A and B are shown apart, each in its own frame.
Chain A
Amino acid sequence: MKKERWIPLAVIAVFLLVWQLGWQFEWVPRYMLPSPVMVVQAFVSDFPLLMTHAGVTMLEAFIGLAAGVLLGFMCAAMMDTFPKVRAGLYPILVLTQTIPPVAIAPLLILWFSYGMTPKIILVVLVAFFPMAVGLMEGFQAADADMIRMMRSMKASRWQIFWYVKFPNALGEFYSGLRIAVAYSIVGAVIAEWLGGFNGLGVYMTRVKKSLAYDKMFAVIFLVSAISLVLMGLVRMLQKKTMPWNYLKDTEEYKRRTRNEEF
């Protein structure tokens, strides 16, 4: 695996090189496409401003994400415990996913004005779904025999949830969280486009109006970098909290599977 890491890096390097050459030889009019070097320069010169805006966007995304995850968790637990709630709610949840967030954002801004509230609400909405569905499926997929065994030990409903269902859903939880993290940054940016005072989306609309292509590219890369870092953090968190899930990578596991001992 590790040996092949250089391949995507090489692809990126080639891409940047072609881009720079394209700018050098004016394959595209210069005012439309800045060079990678110019994008970096724009990023450096606007760095303090970008960081202020990024701070606002990330704050919105985090608050929304936390609320979305919490709501998603509660909703999933309810749907798992009460089949009637699941029957009533699940199809509606899936249905609401056909509504694009971009379509609700203007409405939210009309309702809640230009502050952080509409952005946070949009993030809650986009983060909620992957969490609720992922977690519920994780709860449902718990081994029926495991639950039977717990019941034969007189475990309470809560104990079965805590010892069997919740750990069983942790994998789905993190998959859902990775998606939700990416969605939440994008969601916050989209809501900011449509009106606001601070945030990367606001910055985007401003540099668009002044046709500052270099700054537009800089902010695009920044948004993608933030998402990447956050997704990486989620992965690290998963490795930390689910050590048993990564046993296959350890030397001991390999040794044991090679030479099964009684």
Chain B
Amino acid sequence: MTLDMRMLERLADAAARGGLADAFYDTVDTTVGPLLVVVTGRGVCRIAFASEDAEAALAPVARLVGPRILRSRRHIEPAAGALSSYLAGERSELRLPVDLTLVRSPFQAEVLAALTAVPRGSVTTYGELARRIGHPGAARAVGTALGRNPVPIVVPCHRVLPSTGGLGGYGGGTERKRLLLELEGVRVS
């Protein structure tokens, strides 16, 4: 069993003051369900849906960013607040600094970077994204790269659909993909 919130926040504050924390995490309740949000000094480095295992989601952060990761709601603000109000439809923009340390291949980095050119309310296809980064025909590899997006919602991989129609896959499940698109006014049958 864990400590109470007061002790956890006190520990997080002292660790932050002493430069002893590599990252902070907590679970944030949102309209698309609870999200595990991990924040480093550089930005949001991992967002995981409740359907993913929290320990499995944190393990690569420990390995690649550092093992000194502490639970603290206070220290994942303002990212947590921005995410929950965006997903509640209270704000139309979600601009948060991201830390892409968990992105390990240049190809995946390119795919995720290309997504920033797909604005809220619009969609693209895996094939189109592949063409955009100069790898026509690599639609499947683009799909794999998006499936490993460490920061879904903030890097909007839900805006990528199959050219054959339908929703395609999504790390958080296709129903969440539909919800996220509907929030942006996009309806997919």
- Tell me if chain B binds chain A: no
Interface residues of chain A, those whose CB is within 8 Å of chain B, are none
Interface residues of chain B, those whose CB is within 8 Å of chain A, are none
